[in-house]
Amino acid sequence: MEKICDEKDCFGCAACIDKCPVSCIHFEQNSIGHFIPKIDTTQCIDCKSCVKVCPANHVPERKMPHTVYAAWRKDESLRKLSSSGGIATALSEHIIKQGGVVYGAAFVSGFKFKHIRCTSLDDLKVIRGSKYVQSDMRDIYKQMAVDLKNGVRVLYIGTPCQVAGVKNTFKDRYDNLTTIDLVCHGVPSNAMLIDSLPHEVLFQEADRVDFRENNKFLFSIKKEHNILFSRPLSKDFYYKGFFTGLFYRDSCYSCPFAQAARVGDLTLGDFWGINRAMIPIDPQTGISLCLVNSKSGACLYNQIQSEIDAIPRPYEEALKHNEQLRKPKTLSFRGRIFRYFYPKIGFKWSIRLSIPEIVIKGWLKSLYK
């Protein structure tokens, strides 16, 4: 067998790599740094296990939410540590305190983002906050399989396509697995993020990358609480490219999970467009959108009620201001320009050619600030 799915449809979830019984599948990077699975045809036994587990070939069931909440942690100091309302952290802490494990995306050595296994409250610190880059899922399915077979309660947090990979891998065999899919714009590659940064920053052994701080869009790189690099949305080219949708995976532009029906047991994101008159706190301190999509999700959500406040809201309110709950981002002409030039002239000049007016506007603002 030569391919698992069309390259343009691949999510990079790595479920195929984990499922292969003879380990003949590996990742290679395409022209914009995204991992694409490749098969060693000399070792392949044509069992098609990879084809069957692939979410591009078999999309798991998606469900409309049972209930929709605007939610936030009661403790403001804890809430401010998170990107929005702190609900993901509250759920994760509950799982850990009950003797379970949490799998989420973290910044690791080598300037990479990877899903990791968290077994303590301290571990959760590195998976807290938004990650505007794709995380590596290799080896995670095997770790999850051991936990699930041993009866350990598992909470998995990831993008909808990653949750789909988890769902296809484990099906409905385990009652001790709960999944959270995140409202996702799309995922740039780790290589793209690295290429956007000054070289001197990459050699300073950073131990933390934050894409948001105190609910503000501020991209920062730190080492032992010292700031090595920091830029707001208005000045950072990677940020601009991310929110303009220039360099996501090909599959992001036709994503079957960017819709109202959800693949996870819970869905979390920012509650953009919330009617402020309905919220008794300052929305700037963080409000989570929380969609409860299954019995498993409802069970976990109900177990953290002492930690949070929440107000039921109509789903239409969330759909109106969260485009990714309605449809995927379109690959624009600007995105095609970026993809054409990037392999030839690199990140900085490609971004300038793709969104020149945004770059110029940011430059003028910095001059007259």
CA distance 363 to 300: 47
For the domain made up of 7-53, give the CATH fold: Alpha-Beta Plaits (3.30.70)
The pTM assigned to this predicted structure is 0.94
CA distance 247 to 251: 11
Given this model, what pLDDT does residue 36 score?
97
Residues of the chain with CATH 3.30.70.20: 7-53
pLDDT in tens, the chain (369 residues): 789 999 999 999 999 999 999 999 999 999 999 999 999 999 999 999 999 999 999 999 999 999 999 999 988 777 877 778 899 999 999 999 999 999 999 999 888 999 999 999 999 999 998 899 999 999 999 999 999 999 999 999 999 999 999 999 999 889 999 999 999 999 999 999 999 998 888 888 888 888 987 677 888 998 888 888 888 888 889 999 999 999 999 999 999 999 999 999 999 999 988 877 777 777 777 789 999 999 999 999 999 999 999 999 999 999 998 999 999 999 999 999 999 999 999 999 999 999 887 767 766 666 665
Given phi > 0 = left and psi -120 to 50 = alpha, else beta, which region is 169? alpha
Given this model, what pLDDT does residue 80 score?
74
Given this model, what pLDDT does residue 363 score?
66
Burial class, 174, CB count within 10 angstroms (exposed 0-12 / middle 13-18 / buried 19+): middle
Instruction: Return the DSSP state at 281.
Output: S
CA distance 16 to 36: 11
| Under 8 Å between Cβ of 228 and 222 | yes
CA distance 280 to 311: 10
Given this model, what pLDDT does residue 73 score?
92
| Under 8 Å between Cβ of 357 and 244 | no
Given this model, what pLDDT does residue 199 score?
84
Given this model, what pLDDT does residue 367 score?
64
Instruction: Tell whether the torsion through CA atoms of 335, 340, 345 and 349 is positive or negative.
Output: negative
